Structure 1
C-alpha cells in the first residue's frame, strides 16, 4: 500500500466512524478503499439488508413526492422504511427533488423565491414525518447545467425562499461544481460540523474532473441507460462518496 493509499484509508475509516453511533453500534458495513459510500435511488425502497450486503453505509433518500404521471416507490421516504434502515445501522441523508428538465413538472429552481418557500415547506413536512432530525439539512436539487446568470436571477432566489422557511443552516444543495461554489459564496448553504465543509452534495455531472473542497458528498456513479450503476436489491443505483464525517446524516442531527 502506498503512502497516499494509506492516507485515503485512514480518512475513509475516520469518515465512517463519524457516520454516528447507530452505524457503529450495529456494525457498519465495510467501506470502499476510497471512502464510505451512500446510495441514492427512486424506483422503490431497497431492503436494508441488501444495502448492507452491498457494503454501503446508508442512503440519500427523497423528502419529495413523485411527479405527475410517475410513481416512485422511494418517494417520499416513510417512517417504517427509515426505522428499518436505522435498525440495520445505516444512516440517512435527506434530499428534495420534484421536477426535472423535460419532465412533467419543471426543474424546481425555476419557480424562484415563492417556489423555494413551497418546496421547503413540503420537504420539511416529509422529512420530519419520516423521523428526520430537527437540525438535519435537506439537499435541494439543481439537476442540470446552469450558468451564472441563471443562478443569480432564478436559482439563488429559490434558495433564499428555502432559507426563509428552514433557515440557512438546514439548507443544502445537489448540483454540479459551479452551483455548489456559487451557493456557498452567496451564503445560502449551512455548514457541516466538519471544518471547511458546506452542505454541498456535488454530482460528477457538469463538474469535469474537479471535486469542490467544501463538498460533503460526491456522486461518483450516476446511473443512466447508457452507463448503468451497480445493482443493489434488484435495481440500479447511484453511488456517492462520503467526504466529511458530518455529511448531514440524521443521527448526528437529532
Structure 2
C-alpha cells in the first residue's frame, strides 16, 4: 500500500497526539502497557476528564442500542458526549454489538446476510448521528469462540451483508485471533492507513496468547467478575492497546 508524504505526516501527527496523552499521564494506569490505550465500556458515559486522568488516549464506543431488558448508558454514543470527548483531545473508535451469547438477543452474527444488512444500517446511522467520520470503520463484534465451519456458514455471510451496505473499507471486526485472520483472508474487512494493518480489533479471549500482527487494536484487559478491570469514572472498563497509528479513530477519517 503506497502512502503519500501528506498521509505519512498525518499518521505521525495522530500518533503523536495519542502518545502525548499517555506521556502526560505517565503515572496513570495506561502507562503500564507502554502503548497508547483506549477503553471500552457500556454501563454509562464516563466523563472525558476522568478518562484523561486515568492516562487513556480515548475510547471505543458503541454505535448500537441496548439489548431487550437492559439499559446501557453508553449505548449508543451520542453527539454531545462525542463532542465532550473531542474537546478533551480524546479519540473515538466505533464498535457495533447488540446481541450477546446467552443474552436477551442472540449474537449478531447468527442472523446471517440479512442480519448484517440491518446491523450495518443501524450502526452507520448511530455513527453518523454522533459525528463519526464518514470514512471511519465500524468494528462489528464476533464475541464468541467460533470455529471454521461457523465462520464459513454463518459469520462470513453476516459480514457480506455488512459490506453490501457500508463497503469493505468501512468494515472492521472484533474477535479472537482466528476470526480476525479469517476476516482478512476472505476480504470482508478494510485496510488501515498504517501499512500492514487491517481493521481487526483483537480480543485476548480465544487467542491463546498470540497477537495478530495486522491488528490495529488489542483488548488486553477484559473486565469480568473474577478478574475485574480498572475503575475509570466509577465503573470498571476494558483496556485496549493501540497497535497502529491509524486504528480507525474518527478524527483521522473525516
TM-score (norm 2): 0.91
After superposition, the CA RMSD in angstroms is 1.6
Per-residue Cα deviation, 1:80-110 (whole angstroms, up to 9, x for no partner): 0000000000000000000000000000000
Mapped partners of 1:68, 1:15: distance in 2? 40
Mapped partners of 2:93, 2:12: distance in 1? 14
The residue correspondences of 1:1-254 to structure 2 (distance < 5 A) are 17-19=13-15, 28-30=21-23, 32=31, 33-254=33-254
Mapped partners of 1:113, 1:159: distance in 2? 7
| Contact 2:11–2:194 (8 Å) recurs in 1 | no
Which secondary structure does the structure 1 equivalent of 2:201 belong to? strand
Per-residue Cα deviation, 1:153-185 (whole angstroms, up to 9, x for no partner): 000000000000000000000000000000000
State the Cα distance separating 1:34 from its structure 2 match: 2.1
Which secondary structure does the structure 2 equivalent of 1:224 belong to? coil
Mapped partners of 1:208, 1:81: distance in 2? 36
Which secondary structure does the structure 2 equivalent of 1:95 belong to? strand
State the Cα distance separating 1:135 from its structure 2 match: 0.1
| Contact 1:15–1:35 (8 Å) recurs in 2 | no
Q: What's 1:5 paired with?
A: none
Which secondary structure does the structure 2 equivalent of 1:136 belong to? coil
State the Cα distance separating 1:18 from its structure 2 match: 2.6
Unaligned segments of structure 1, at least 5 residues: 1-13
Gap change, CA 1:85 and 1:154, over 3 Å in 2: same
Which secondary structure does the structure 1 equivalent of 2:174 belong to? strand
TM-score (norm 1): 0.91
Alignment length, in residue pairs?
238
